[in-house]
């Protein structure tokens, strides 16, 4: 599958290239310019300035102090989305692998088992790893056959819920407004939200990646009471479960744009604090290169989270964010 390579930095920088400030973008100058059709001139200009100053800042931080390469200030976050997989036996084995894995301390680690196994996981998994649900109802529980309420999730020990996942959007048919309502309600009850966004392959090819992601961001922004307990997961749909991971540059350019969007539309503080994690065919072999990108604050992992040792490798890829002094 030909996945269009789009480089925000190269598209936006024009003759005075922002890439000159940041070597990680240097291989991308010939990339497709479709994405900037989706940006108005003024927003393009402001993104140029913001991206340019961001890159200069990051580059000087790296060069001078040799610090962790993170543009955001939030702790690295890795979630395992088990989706509709597993049996009592396979989950017991996974839990025992996770309990014996050595996990770096400076990472928030979360797993999202299928609802029916949450209790089993809660009772046997180390407290080091928090539990997320894969969905929640839009309001207080009651006569809603087949649904599961935020109150019930909290009662059973969940700290998080994954909302807006592409499988809910594109297979089940949930729309932005419905997802926003779920997020607003979960947050109002102090359940953290892993808020997923991401474009279809067709949308990327049509140059609509930013339009789609920003629209999904806006739906969350319109509905959430606060961003304190929100982690954004950028998951390009074409990369989910396909084995076709986004390149580190493809992921970084969307992450930096989402952070800029937060800065412009919410606040600089929220932009810097909010974790923006990447999902879509992350595995033990590609996580380190992705983690090196400054605006990638962790991962949402599907298939590879079903294997304890591989998931631990992904959690521990936080170490590749640290650069030599
Ligand atoms: P994948 O799924 O890692 O299997 O591609 C990611 C996700 O859907 O969160």
Q: Which residue has the tokens 């310019």?
A: 33
CATH number of 74-320: 3.20.20.70
Decide: 89 and 314 in contact? Cβ < 8 Å: no
* Residue to mutate, 77, 79, 81, 277, ligand 1, most ligand atoms under 8 Å from C-beta: 81
Taking 50 as the threshold, does the pLDDT of residue 288 lie above it? yes
pLDDT value of residue 56: 35
pTM recorded for the entire structure: 0.82
Torsion of CA 299, 65, 28, 198, to 10 degrees: 20
Contacts of 125 (CB under 8 A, 6+ apart): 95, 98, 99, 111, 131
For residues 232 and 13, the model is more confident at 232
165 noted as active-site residue: yes
Model confidence pLDDT, tens digit, residues 40-78: 334 434 444 444 444 333 433 333 334 456 788 899 999
Structural domain boundaries of the chain? 74-320
- Beta-bridge partners for 132: 160
The closest-lying atom of ligand 1 relative to the alpha carbon of residue 79 is 9
Per mean pLDDT, which range of 68-77, 114-123, 190-199, 233-242 is the poorest?
68-77
Ligand 1 pocket at CB < 6 A: 81, 235, 240-241, 279-282, 300-304
pLDDT at 123: 97
């Amino acid at each position: 599958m030909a996945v269009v390579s789009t480089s925000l930095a190269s598209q936006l920088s024009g003759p005075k290239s922002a890439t000159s400030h940041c070597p990680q973008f240097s291989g991308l100058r010939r990339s497709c310019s479709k994405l900037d059709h989706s940006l108005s001139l003024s927003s393009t200009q402001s993104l140029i300035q913001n991206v340019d100053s961001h890159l200069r800042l990051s580059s000087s931080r790296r060069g001078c102090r040799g610090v962790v390469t993170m543009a955001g200030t939030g702790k690295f976050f890795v979630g395992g989305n088990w989706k509709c997989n597993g049996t009592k036996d396979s989950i017991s084995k996974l839990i025992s692998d996770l309990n014996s894995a050595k996990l770096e301390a400076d990472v928030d680690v979360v797993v999202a088992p299928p609802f029916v196994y949450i209790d089993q996981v809660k009772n046997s998994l180390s407290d080091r790893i928090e539990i997320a649900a894969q969905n929640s109802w839009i309001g207080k529980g009651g006569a809603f056959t087949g649904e599961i309420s935020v109150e019930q999730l909290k009662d059973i020990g969940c700290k998080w819920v994954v909302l807006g996942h592409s499988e809910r959007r594109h297979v089940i048919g949930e729309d932005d407004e419905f997802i926003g309502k779920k997020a607003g309600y979960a947050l109002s009850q102090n359940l953290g939200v892993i808020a997923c966004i991401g474009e279809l392959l067709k949308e990327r090819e049509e140059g609509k990646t930013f339009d789609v992601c920003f629209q999904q961001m806006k739906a969350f922004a319109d509905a959430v009471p606060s961003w304190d307990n929100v982690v954004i997961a950028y998951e390009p749909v074409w990369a989910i479960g396909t084995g076709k991971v986004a390149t580190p540059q493809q992921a970084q350019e969307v992450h930096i744009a989402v952070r800029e969007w937060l800065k412009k539309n919410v606040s600089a503080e929220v932009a810097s604090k909010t974790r923006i994690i990447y999902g879509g065919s992350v595995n033990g072999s590609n996580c380190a290169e992705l983690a090196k990108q400054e605006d990638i604050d962790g991962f949402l992992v599907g298939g590879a989270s079903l294997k304890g040792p591989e998931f631990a490798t992904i959690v521990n890829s936080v170490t590749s964010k640290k650069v030599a002094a």
